[in-house]
């Protein structure tokens, strides 16, 4: 199956169980819209489904206890044995949906059909598929104009479009964002010119924040969960010298903006895109080298910053 066909099966299951998972399914300009947390309560289960869809169902996502006692509470755990396609060709939010006053970060395997990003020149995953599946981080349903703009960037072979929608300030939206630990590590590695094809498998865990009362704080808490609480393990096959060179640059503490909560950075810069892009990576990254049997760990979790972000006493 293509990435989009795999994600479409997840969306079909979500629609069949819509009442129990507290989601709502509608049609806009022929596209299937599954609201997982905008105008509906959504659920933890819907969050897991969204996360699986972003990964094109090439990863396992579940809730586990967070392993550091100073933070505690639930966490989102991700595992994948196809990290480049699952995380970079599908999960990465590389499509900015901007039509008039409408804006949403777009992720999911529909990106692999459009394949308009520079990223697809360097990784596998570009495909043709009759179905297209995307995830929009927003509270607003896409309008007919927005659907038309998305469809215009897809090839004619994509006949059916499904969009899963939820803001970061919702049960489902919080989960699907925090499930991006491995993806942020891989994207950082790609930006550092590391050959991501040498990453064989990935595991990540990050604490699940309380759902924020507004979108800015929702975005802040979910980012802080990864930046200061995210722990990633990557199984790689490369030279230890390569890991020693690139490893210290991968965790979030390699950024000049490290140490400030995301909401504080947004207030400081007034623009998401002015924040140092090197910040967006997990707090701790461990490389387990299948070629040599060695283990390299970089960065560290910052429990105090996580607790401050989450409003924990």
Q: How far apart are CA 37 and CA 16, in angstroms?
A: 17
160 falls in which pLDDT band (50, 70, 90)? very high
Cβ contact 203:79 at 8 Å: yes
Contact 75, 67 (CB under 8 A): yes
CB 187 within 8 A of CB 167: no
Q: Rg of the chain over CA atoms, in angstroms?
A: 18
Supply the DSSP symbol for 2: -
Among 134, 238, 232, residue whose Cα is nearest residue 186: 232
- pLDDT reported for residue 272: 80
Q: How confident is the model at residue 270 (pLDDT cuts 50, 70, 90)?
A: confident
Q: Which positions ≥6 away from 271 have C-beta within 8 Å?
A: none
Non-local (6+) Cβ contacts of 78 within 8 A are 51, 55, 59, 60, 61, 179, 181, 182, 202, 203, 204, 205
Question: CA 195, CA 186: separation in Å to the nearest integer?
Answer: 10
Output the pTM of the full model: 0.97
Instruction: Answer yes or no: is pLDDT of 78 > 90.
Output: yes
Is residue 211's pLDDT more than 80?
A: yes
Q: Put the strands of the sheet holding 231-236 in their side by side order.
A: 59-65, 74-80, 199-207, 231-236, 284-289, 295-299
Mean pLDDT calculated for residue range 154-173: 96
- pLDDT value of residue 273: 79
The 95-99 sheet, strands edge to edge: 24-28, 31-35, 160-166, 131-137, 102-107, 95-99
pLDDT, one tens digit per residue, over 217-264 is 999 999 999 999 999 999 999 999 999 999 999 999 999 999 999 999
Q: Which of 23-27, 202-206, 223-227, 273-277 has the lowest mean pLDDT?
A: 273-277
pLDDT of 114 strictly over 80? yes
Sign of CA dihedral 111, 103, 270, 219: negative
Per-residue pLDDT averaged across 8-24, rounded?
Answer: 98
Query: Percentage of the chain surpassing pLDDT 90?
Result: 97
Average pLDDT, the chain: 97
């Amino acid at each position: 199956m293509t990435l989009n066909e795999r994600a479409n099966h997840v969306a079909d299951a979500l629609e069949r169980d819509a009442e129990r998972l507290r989601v709502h399914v509608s049609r806009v300009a022929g596209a299937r819209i599954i609201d997982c947390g905008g105008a509906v309560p959504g659920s933890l289960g819907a969050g897991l489904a969204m996360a699986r869809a972003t990964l094109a169902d090439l990863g396992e996502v579940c809730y586990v206890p967070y392993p550091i006692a100073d933070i505690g509470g639930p966490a989102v755990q991700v595992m994948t044995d196809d990290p480049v396609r699952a995380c970079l060709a599908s999960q990465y939010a590389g499509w900015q949906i901007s039509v008039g006053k409408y804006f949403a970060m777009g992720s999911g395997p529909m990106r692999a059909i459009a394949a308009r990003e520079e990223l697809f020149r360097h990784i596998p995953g570009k495909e043709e598929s009759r179905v297209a599946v995307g995830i929009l981080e927003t509270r607003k349903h896409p309008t007919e104009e927005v659907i038309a703009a998305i469809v215009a960037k897809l090839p004619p072979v994509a006949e059916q479009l499904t969009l899963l929608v939820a803001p970061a300030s919702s049960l489902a939206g919080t989960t699907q964002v925090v499930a991006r630990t491995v993806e942020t590590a891989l994207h950082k590695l790609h930006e550092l010119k590391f050959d991501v094809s040498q990453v064989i498998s990935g595991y990540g865990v990050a604490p699940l924040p309380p759902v924020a009362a507004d979108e800015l704080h929702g975005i802040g808490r979910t980012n802080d969960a990864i930046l200061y609480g995210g722990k990633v393990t990557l199984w790689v096959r490369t030279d230890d010298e390569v890991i020693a060179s690139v490893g210290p640059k991968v965790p979030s503490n390699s950024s000049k903006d490290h140490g400030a909560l995301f909401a504080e950075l947004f207030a400081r810069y007034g623009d998401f895109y002015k924040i140092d892009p090197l910040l967006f990576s997990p707090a701790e990254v461990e490389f387990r080298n299948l070629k040599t049997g060695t283990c390299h760990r970089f960065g560290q979790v910052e429990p105090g910053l996580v607790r401050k972000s989450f409003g924990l006493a």
